[in-house]
């Protein structure tokens, strides 16, 4: 069984292709009518509760320390939680528990072992974040066929379920925790990415928080004092805010008036759509700015876009479509939603068929080509100025796989090692993201201006590999940078931790 997994910030889903090639979601093993898993975890001693079981436990004890939104911490070197035994949990360790549960659900429902899976990642994820996802899959002992970017997966599903002419499609993907924009060219042969961009910490979470601020302000105005906050009130406020956001996303609904119960306080809340839209307007403008940057990166203009597809639950906020309609105002252009909550998982299942060589059997276009999401370079010191500079090897939006080679030289006759810092960045003015340090040596015959050839490759998964070659001795060193500084030892420790953790099911 081949599957596609949408590893989401707030909810995760798993899908497979049916015999006719139509993708379908696989349900929770305990709640067969439910086809999503909250990306939420509660750890207790050596046990873990994942998904809707966590929500059930919170009903009994709202003070439980529930872990959410850990997807935003992929690639971070420090743990984000210490359990009662003092064990450190990184983002990828927590994600591994979600993947472990999804695999259990899929195999329980299908009665077959999982042979391979494609896992989705945000399009703008850099090398460390992508490798953190691969580490999470390794910890969960999930057989990974490859990674696919979330908006690309959504476009892939749209492409195979609709007749696509040669046209440029923009995918605007606003989910629970991240925003992505991707430009693609689609035809009957396949999908070809042209450019991509995004924001790591912008999504439905921020929209919910904007509504929560309105609810708290109305409580203060009604009662003359702030709402007392504890575990129960925080849980209720989060759920109520999400419900209000969803209801205000219904077309032609201009306001919402309802009585809510938070803690021991029941009070009436009135939220107008115009006020909600005003509170999130600056966030929407951020997504427009990034979308325009993506267009510019591809050398395109607004008029070059044939269709603009909206995916992700938060994209259903009406003002988003309206704002995009102002930017893409050509009457020939179409702005539409396509399975906002399911398309990513569906597309991942389609890509699993492509990677496993089953595309022809399902009559799926076999070709797929991604692009680099960042500039990739090596930090060097300019010998004339003494300043740190970046020697760019691979440019952003180059077709994948991409590679480049540079020759670096020692600066003294006694230098036995060369240290190179590999970095990624969006543009020359943006902050550098370190990929890792490559240490070459010891050199067999050190000398002034001793040459070392370095090849940097950006793979089809978007991860980075580096090779160093000594042309004088013929010795080659290959280095693949990890997502955290502790390398393989940490991965082994965390794998043992995930293996020994039993995931509870109702």
Cα–Cα dist 142/102, whole Å: 10
Mean pLDDT for each 10-residue chunk of the chain (506 residues)? 95 94 92 91 87 89 91 90 86 95 94 95 93 94 94 90 80 93 86 90 94 94 89 91 93 90 90 95 96 93 92 94 92 88 95 89 82 91 79 93 92 87 87 86 85 92 90 74 46 61 58
**pLDDT number for residue 506:** 40
Q: Dihedral of the CA atoms 294, 298, 299, 304 (nearest 10)? A: -80
Give every CB contact of residue 50 below 8 A, 6+ residues apart in sequence.
Answer: 37, 40, 41, 97, 98, 100, 101, 503, 504
**What single string gives the DSSP state of each residue in 37-105?**
EES-EEEETTEEEETHHHHHHHHH-TTS--B--GGGGTT-SS-SEE-TT--EE-HHHHHHHHHHHHHHH
pTM above 0.85, yes or no: yes
The reply to whether 375-486 shares the fold of 204-276 is no
DSSP 240: H
Exposed e or buried b for every residue in 379-405, given b needs 16+ CB within 10 A?
A: beeeeeeeeeebebbbebbeebebbbe
Neighbours of 322 (CB within 10 A): 12
Selected from 2.60.34.10, 3.40.800.20, 3.40.50.1820, 3.40.50.1100, the CATH number assigned to the domain covering 375-486 reads 2.60.34.10
What is the reported pLDDT for 484?
44
Q: What is the pLDDT of residue 503?
A: 65
The two three-digit tokens of residue 129, written as one number: 């974040």
Residues 6+ away with beta carbon under 8 Å from 223: 265, 267
* Beta carbons within 8 Å of 19's beta carbon, 6+ residues apart: none
The terminus-to-terminus CA distance of the chain in angstroms comes to: 25
Q: CB neighbours of 338 closer than 8 A, spacing ≥ 6?
A: 154, 157, 158, 309, 310, 311
CA 392 → CA 186, 200, 423, 457, distances in Å?
30, 24, 9, 13
| CATH code of the domain occupying 204-276 | 3.90.640.10
Determine whether 428 is exposed, middle or buried from the number of CB atoms within 10 Å of its CB (0-12, 13-18, 19+). Answer: exposed
What pLDDT score was predicted for residue 493? 53
Helix (H) or strand (E) holding 460, with range, is: none
Domain ranges within the chain, ordered by starting residue: 2-162+340-368, 204-276, 375-486
Superfamily of domain 2-162+340-368: ATPase, nucleotide binding domain (3.30.420.40)
Position 445 scores a pLDDT of 83
CA 476 to chain centre: 34
The phi and psi torsions of 124 (rounded to 5 degrees) equal -90, 5
Among 415, 422, 414, residue whose Cα is nearest residue 380: 422
Whole-angstrom Cα distance, residue 370 to residue 184? 9
Q: Give residue 86's pLDDT.
A: 82
Q: What is the pLDDT of residue 385?
A: 80
Element (H, E) at 206: helix 204-223
CB 423 within 8 A of CB 376: yes
The Cα–Cα gap between 106 and 100 comes to 10
Q: What is the DSSP letter of 316?
A: G
pLDDT value of residue 440: 82
């Amino acid at each position: 069984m081949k599957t596609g997994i949408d590893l989401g910030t707030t909810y995760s889903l798993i899908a497979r292709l049916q015999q006719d090639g139509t993708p379908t979601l696989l349900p929770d093993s305990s709640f067969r009518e439910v086809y999503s898993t909250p990306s939420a975890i509660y750890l207790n001693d050596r046990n873990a509760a994942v998904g809707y079981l966590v929500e059930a436990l919170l009903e009994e004890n709202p003070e439980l320390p529930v872990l959410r939104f850990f997807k935003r911490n992929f690639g971070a070197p420090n743990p984000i939680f210490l359990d009662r035994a003092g064990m450190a949990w990184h983002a990828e360790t927590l994600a591994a528990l979600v993947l472990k549960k999804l695999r259990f659900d899929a195999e329980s429902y299908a009665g077959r072992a999982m042979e391979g899976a494609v896992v989705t990642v945000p399009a703008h994820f850099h090398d460390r974040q992508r490798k953190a996802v691969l580490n999470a899959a390794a910890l969960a002992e999930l057989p990974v066929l490859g990674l696919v970017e979330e908006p690309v997966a959504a476009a892939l599903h749209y492409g195979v379920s609709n007749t696509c002419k040669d046209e440029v499609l923009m995918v605007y993907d606003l989910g629970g925790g991240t925003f992505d924009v991707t430009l693609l060219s689609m035809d009957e042969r396949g999908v070809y990415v042209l450019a991509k961009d995004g924001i790591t910490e912008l999504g439905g979470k921020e929209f919910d928080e904007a509504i929560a601020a309105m609810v708290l302000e109305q409580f203060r105005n009604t009662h003359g004092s702030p709402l007392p906050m504890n575990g129960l009130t925080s849980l209720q406020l989060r759920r109520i805010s999400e419900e209000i956001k969803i209801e205000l996303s219904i077309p032609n609904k201009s306001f919402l008036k309802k009585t809510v119960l938070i803690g021991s306080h029941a009070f009436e809340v009135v939220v107008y759509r115009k006020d909600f839209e005003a509170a999130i307007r600056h966030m929407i403008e951020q997504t427009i700015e990034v979308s325009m940057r993506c267009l510019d990166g591809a050398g395109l203009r607004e008029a070059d876009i044939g269709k603009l597809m909206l995916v992700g639950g938060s994209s259903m906020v009406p003002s988003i479509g309206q704002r995009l309609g102002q930017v893409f105002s050509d009457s020939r252009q179409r702005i539409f939603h396509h399975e906002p909550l399911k398309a990513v998982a569906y597309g991942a299942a389609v890509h699993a068929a492509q990677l496993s060589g089953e595309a022809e059997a399902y009559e799926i276009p076999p070709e797929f080509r991604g692009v680099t999401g960042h500039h990739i370079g090596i930090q060097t010191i300019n010998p004339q100025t003494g300043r740190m500079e970046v020697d760019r090897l691979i440019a952003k939006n180059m077709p994948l796989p991409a590679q480049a080679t540079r020759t670096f030289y020692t600066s003294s006759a006694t230098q036995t090692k060369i240290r190179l810092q590999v970095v990624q960045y969006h543009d020359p003015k943006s902050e550098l993201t370190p990929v890792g340090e490559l240490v070459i040596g010891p050199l067999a015959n050190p000398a002034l201006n001793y040459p070392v050839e370095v090849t940097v490759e950006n793979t089809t998964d978007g991860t980075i590999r580096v090779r160093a070659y000594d042309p004088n001795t013929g010795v080659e060193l290959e280095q693949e940078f990890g997502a955290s500084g502790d390398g393989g030892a940490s991965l082994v420790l965390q794998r043992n931790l995930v293996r020994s953790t039993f995931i509870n099911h109702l």
